[in-house]
A and B are shown apart, each in its own frame.
Chain A
Amino acid sequence: MARKIRVRNHRVVLNRSKGGDAGITIFLILLGIVMFLPMWYLIITALKPLGERNITPPLLYVMKPTWQNFIDLFTNMNSTWVPVSRYLFNTIIISVAATFGCLVLGSLTAYALSKIKFPGRVVIFKLIQYSLMISSTVAGITNFFIFVALKWLNTYWISIVPVWASTLGLYLMKQFIDTNVSDEMIEAARIDGAGELRIYWQIVMPLVKPAWLTLLVTTFQSVWNAGASGYVWSEQLKTFNTAIANISTVSVGASSAGSVVMMSVPIIIFIINQAKIVETMGSSGMKD
Chain B
Amino acid sequence: MKKEKVSAVTEERQSYGYGGKPMTKGRYIRIQMKRTWQGYVMVAPFMLMFIAFTVAPVLISIALSFTSFNMLEWPEWKGLSNYIQLFLADDLFITAFANTMLFAITTGPASFILSFIVAWFINELSPRMRAFVTVIFYAPSIAGTAYLVWGIFFQGDIYGYVNGWLLKMGLINAPIDYFRDVRFIVPLCIAVALWTSLGTSFLSNIAGLQGVDHSLYEAGAIDGIKNRWQEAWYITLPSMRSILLFGAVLSITGAFGFGGIVNALCGNPSTDYVAWTLQHHLTEYMSTRFEYGYASAIAVVLFAIMMTANMLVQKFLSKVGQ
Residues of A in contact with B (beta carbons under 8 Å apart)? 3, 8-9, 11-17, 20, 24, 27-28, 31-32, 34-36, 38-39, 41-42, 45, 53-54, 56-58, 105-106, 108-109, 111-113, 116-119, 121, 124, 127-128, 131-146, 148, 161-162, 164-165, 167-168, 170, 195-197, 200, 218, 221, 224-225, 227, 230, 241, 244-245, 248, 252, 256, 259, 262-263, 266-267, 270-271, 274-275, 277-282, 284-288
Contacts and interface: CB of A to CB of B under 8 A. Distances in A.
A140 B142 contact: no
Interface stretch (B32-40, B80-88, B180-188): B32-40
B145 A259 contact: yes
B61 interface: yes
Given A41-B161, A42-B149, A140-B282, A270 B49 contact: no
Contact of A116 (B38, B139, B163, B164): B38
Interface of B: 29, 32-33, 36-40, 42-43, 45-47, 49-50, 52-58, 60-61, 64, 71, 118, 121-122, 124, 126-127, 131, 133-140, 142-150, 152-153, 158-159, 161, 163-165, 167-168, 195, 198, 200, 203-204, 206-208, 210-211, 214, 217-218, 220-221, 225-228, 230-231, 240-243, 245-246, 249-250, 252-254, 256-257, 259-260, 264, 279, 282-283, 286-287, 292, 295-296, 299, 302-303, 306-307, 310, 314, 318
Contact of B221 (A15, A108, A200): A15
A41 B153 contact: yes
Given A56-B159, A218-B200, A278-B206, A285 B243 contact: yes
> Nearest 6 pairs between A and B by C-beta?
A57-B164, A285-B242, A142-B57, A116-B39, A135-B257, A139-B57
Given A27-B121, A137-B302, A281-B204, A275 B42 contact: no
Nearest to A161: B49
Contacts of A277: 203
B305 to A, nearest CB: 10
With a 10 A CB-CB cut-off, give which of A3, A13, A124, A281 has the most chain B CB atoms. A281
Nearest to A12: B218
Contacts of A135: 253-254, 256-257, 302, 306
Contacts of A34: 195
A9 B124 contact: yes
Nearest to B131: A274
Given A28-B133, A119-B32, A15 B245 contact: no
B46 A141 contact: no
B32 A140 contact: no
With a 10 A CB-CB cut-off, give which of A141, A221, A280 has the most chain B CB atoms. A141
A58 B159 contact: yes
Contacts, number: 314
Given A39-B143, A165-B46, A196-B39, A141 B295 contact: yes
A189 to B, nearest CB: 13
A142 B42 contact: no
Nearest to B295: A141
A39 B150 CA distance: 10
Contacts of B210: 278, 282
B193 to A, nearest CB: 13
Nearest to A264: B143
Nearest to A279: B207
A109 B49 CA distance: 12
Contact of B286 (A141, A252, A270, A275): A141
A141 B50 contact: no
B55 A267 contact: no
B246 A267 contact: no
A56 B159 CA distance: 6
Contacts of B134: 274, 278
Nearest to A41: B149
Given A121-B39, A124-B47, A135-B306, 6 more contacts: A14-B218, A45-B152, A117-B39, A244-B148, A281-B203, A281-B204
B9 to A, nearest CB: 10
A10 B227 CA distance: 20
Given A127-B55, A142-B60, A274-B135, A167 B146 contact: no
A137 B144 contact: no
A160 to B, nearest CB: 11
Contact of B249 (A11, A57, A132): A132
A267 B143 contact: yes
With a 10 A CB-CB cut-off, give which of B29, B50, B256 has the most chain A CB atoms. B50
B33 A118 contact: yes
A266 B242 CA distance: 28
Contacts of B225: 14-15
B144 A224 contact: yes
20 contacts: A17-B227, A38-B195, A39-B143, A39-B146, A41-B153, A54-B159, A105-B49, A116-B36, A119-B29, A139-B61, A141-B57, A218-B200, A244-B145, A279-B207, A281-B207, A282-B211, A285-B204, A285-B208, A285-B241, A285-B242
Contacts of A252: 152
Contact of A221 (B43, B49, B142): B142
A286 B306 CA distance: 17
